[in-house]
A = this chain, B = another copy of it.
Amino acid sequence: MNLTGQNYIGNSPSGKGSKTFQTYNPVSLELNATSFYEATSQEIDAAVQLAQTAFNEYAATTPEQKAAFLVAIAEEIEALGDALLETYVTESGLPMGRAQGERGRTMGQLRAFANLLQEGSWVEAVIDTAQPDRQPLPKVDIRKMQEPIGPVVVFGASNFPLAFSTAGGDTASALAAGCPVIVKGHPMHAGTSEWVTKAILKAAERTGMPNGVFSHMNSSGIEVGTQLVQHPLVKGVGFTGSIAGGTALYRLAAERPEPIPVYAEMGSINPVVVLPSALVEKGNDWAKTYAGSITLGSGQFCTNPGLIIGLASAEMEDFKQILAGAISEIAPSSMLHPNILKGYEANKNEVSGQNGVAVLAQVNSATGTQANPMVASVTGAEFIANPKLHTEVFGPFSLVVECAHMAELNTVIQHLEGQLTGTILASETELSSRTDVVSNLGKKVGRLIFNGVPTGVEVCPAMQHGGPFPASSDSRTTSVGTDAIKRWARPVAYQNWPQNLLPNALKDENPLGISRVVNGEHTKAAI
């Protein structure tokens, strides 16, 4: 099996366009060999039409059938073996260990959704039984559950070529919900994306899924994504990337004759509030830990800690010094693409060049597409006054904000935009006395972390990876963890419906043994 550079309209490879592009190896600084065919307007339409045709049949498959499909995808990804991992490394510049780890995470996500389907309660069955004798009017029997919304478009993310791309969390959750998926592959890892496409299509064939349950479109510009989001048969969009990109897609979808939801997971500077007790008790340790978190994966995580907020003090001086020292010792690593490095350098220079910003440490040994880590500092007053300091610098950069007093620290938090995460470093005693900080930070973030680092996003039911805008376009949802499935479903109610014709989740005897709300009570009991 080799890379072909084709698009996939369901099972059918297709390369009808004249425009092609190649991926780039950010370590060897060369183009990779395969030429990828940019999807044409006709190919895009054919893929969406096929997805719509597949929708009826796919939505009607049982939870067990969908679960088997997801597990088969995980197996087929593993079966790709070294070919996948080597393509991943040559297209991302990330090390082999990361490739292996991310592949494991991707397979784990697929299996987690398979388990969720087998458990079955995610459909949120709610049942109100009839009360024919109720006064003044009888009450009819009404039951509802979640059902899939229709064909979904997923945009691959540059910074997670596997776990947030072709068979990543968006695709896994949409397929689990019963929605066919059309992926717009990320141009920086089109080969990785084709390998994974082959695995998904093989899994679909092996488990008897309808042709069109998955399609894959190549694209190096914005036209393919735009056409996909505007297609009348597309009912939802998943995206991980920049604020500008995600917001543009969100607005594009809102302007459609029929608006559709766009779940865009975008930027975040992930503020870390260092309270005095943390500096006194273990400031040096935190400084070293954070030097690692700031530079992990060349800073290319959406949960990268880009802002460290504390009170000016002797301990803060020590913290800055240790942090600067630790950063200075970190060897630069390559970024995903020269364009991402260019963006990093521009944003870093923009922020560090603002009035009152002092550079604490700057590495200068980067070559090729490697990024030089930097940490800088600024006063709380300057930070509050200058919105340019609030923007994300995607890469190994963090800004320390030194506040004159707690009131200013709270004001800094109140001036932040929405964030994926907010971290508080403190003793438990100090945390318990700082309800102001917890309340202010909690209103800005999706996930509050105590004495830890924001990098490392566990895939589990309780994970919340999504926060107020611009962290994500819909703060009511998460893009990581099993609750991500809720984005691709809507409730459908059945009124006065015959028992034997109800979906299994809504039948009196509860044949699936799921948790349901029956006449207001949460229960797994039959009726």
Contact = CB atoms under 8 A, between A and B. Distances in A.
B115 A498 contact: no
Interface residues on A, range: 35 or more
Contacts of A417: 258
Interface string A442-475: 1101111111100010101111101011100111
A140 B522 contact: no
A489 B494 CA distance: 26
Among A60, A128, A462, A463, max chain B CB count under 10 A is at A462
Contact of A493 (B464, B500, B515): B464
A147 interface: yes
Contacts of A451: 496
Contacts of A428: 498, 501
A495 interface: yes
B447 A495 contact: yes
B142 A458 contact: yes
Nearest to A448: B494
Contacts of A431: 498, 501
Among A139, A261, A464, max chain B CB count under 10 A is at A464
A469 B128 contact: no
A492 B442 contact: yes
Interface string A8-40: 000000000000000000000000000000000
Given A461-B519, A462-B493, 12 more contacts: A60-B439, A115-B520, A126-B462, A139-B460, A251-B255, A254-B254, A254-B259, A258-B417, A259-B473, A447-B494, A448-B494, A464-B491
Interface of A: 56, 60, 115, 119, 121, 126-128, 137, 139-140, 142-144, 147, 149-150, 247, 250-251, 254-255, 258-261, 417-418, 428, 431-432, 438-439, 442-443, 445-452, 456, 458, 460-464, 466, 468-470, 473-476, 478, 483, 486, 489-498, 500-501, 515, 517, 519-520, 522, 524
